[in-house]
Amino acid sequence: MQFKDVARVDVDGRTICLDCSGELSYISHAHSDHVSGKKKNEVIASDATLHLAGVQFNSKLVHERVKLHPAGHMLGATQIEVQRDGGNFVYTGDFSLNDGFTYKGAHIIEADELLIESTYGSPDYHFPKKEELAEILKKEIQSRLSFGNVVFAVYATGKSQELIKMLNEYCNITPVVSPEVARVSEIYVKHGQPLSYINSHSDEAVEAFRENFVGIIPKSQFRPELRMRLTQHYHKPCYFGSLSGWNAKFPSEVFDIALPFSDHADFNDLVEYVDHSDPKKVYVFGAFAETLSNVLKLRGYQSIAVK
């Protein structure tokens, strides 16, 4: 079964496209793989998601049968619940059950029919608590910062702001961030999430660059040869860091610091969600959909993996 066949739900004769383009589109959160197109006719989404994604739209749908619930994961991320005549339908999108540094964890919604995203739906993926990772990160940074600079290459939207908050609160560090990261962080601040950072294109950054610093660049801008360029430019070692759930299984040869710091549910969280949601039918999509679906079948669920 294809994702496009289940990624739409009807309510009172209207079809809601779930993280896909249509006359009426639901956007679960602002990550680019969940936002198809910047122009929409009618949307269902949180204000923060629309702001972060830069989506232009004609109108927002408010409907008594449609309810949004927190999804954790990042600022503005939601799950959608639709009350239908035959029972309720819930679509999770990316979610995290645990609190992050910049968001509250997702609520588990009881559903008759559930469509769940399974990014880390393999038993290989278990993530330590973020507070534990923050303590490890603090030591990893401190041990290197007296010798040189530390630069993290992470997603500009969501992960960067988690990192900024963690550096502010656990390490008493104000990082220097790329303009793209600063632009997103500014939106976080506008939505009530205080963050302390320095835009690398500001006068303040000129001062910060005189000392050893912690930097944040978008993952998309990272190249292994950057290490040599930054080392030569600042005349001191440059260490690189990565924060990703994939680090739980694949040790990095490129990054000096690589922690399994994720804003997704891990395998146990995914199973916990389904157990508490207790759906009559569950559709699983995303990475490891087949693996998670088979686990759910063994637990007695009518589960279908969706490509």
| Contact residues for Zn ion, defined by CB under 5 A | 31, 94
CA distances from 289 to 73, 90, 94, 133, 285 (A): 19, 17, 13, 27, 5
Tokens found for residue 145 = 């910062």
The CB-of-42 to Zn ion minimum distance in angstroms stands at 23
- Tell me the C-alpha distance between 182 and 163, whole Å: 13
DSSP 14: E
Q: Which is nearer to Zn ion, 158 or 279 (CB)?
A: 158
Coil, strand, or helix at residue 16?
Answer: strand
Q: Residue 31 or residue 227: which is nearer to Zn ion going by CB? A: 31
In the sheet with 238-243, reading across from the earlier edge strand, the strands are 198-199, 176-177, 214-218, 149-154, 238-243, 257-259
**Cβ of residue 247: shortest distance to Zn ion, in angstroms?**
17
Rounded to whole angstroms, the Cα distance separating 23 from 21 reads: 7
Q: Among 140, 134, 44, 56, which residue's Cα sits nearest to residue 98?
A: 134
Say how many residues make up the chain.
Answer: 307
Between 130 and 227, CB nearer to Zn ion: 130
Closer to Zn ion by Cβ: residue 28 or 200? 28
**Nearest distance from C-beta of residue 72 to Zn ion, angstroms:** 10
Q: Which is nearer to Zn ion, 100 or 215 (CB)?
A: 100
- Enter the tokens of residue 134: 């923050």
* Residues linked to residue 116 through DSSP beta bridges, in sequence order: 284
* Minimum CB–partner distance for residue 99 and Zn ion (Å): 16
Least distance in Å: CB of 117 to Zn ion?
9
Token digits of residue 9? 């739900």
Instruction: CB nearer to Zn ion: give 117 or 140.
Output: 117
Minimum separation from the CB atom of position 266 to Zn ion (A): 15
Judged by beta carbon, residue 94 or residue 162, the one nearer Zn ion is 94
Give CA–CA dist 50/93, Å, rounded.
Answer: 16
Rounded to a whole number of angstroms, the minimum distance from the CB of residue 249 to Zn ion is 19
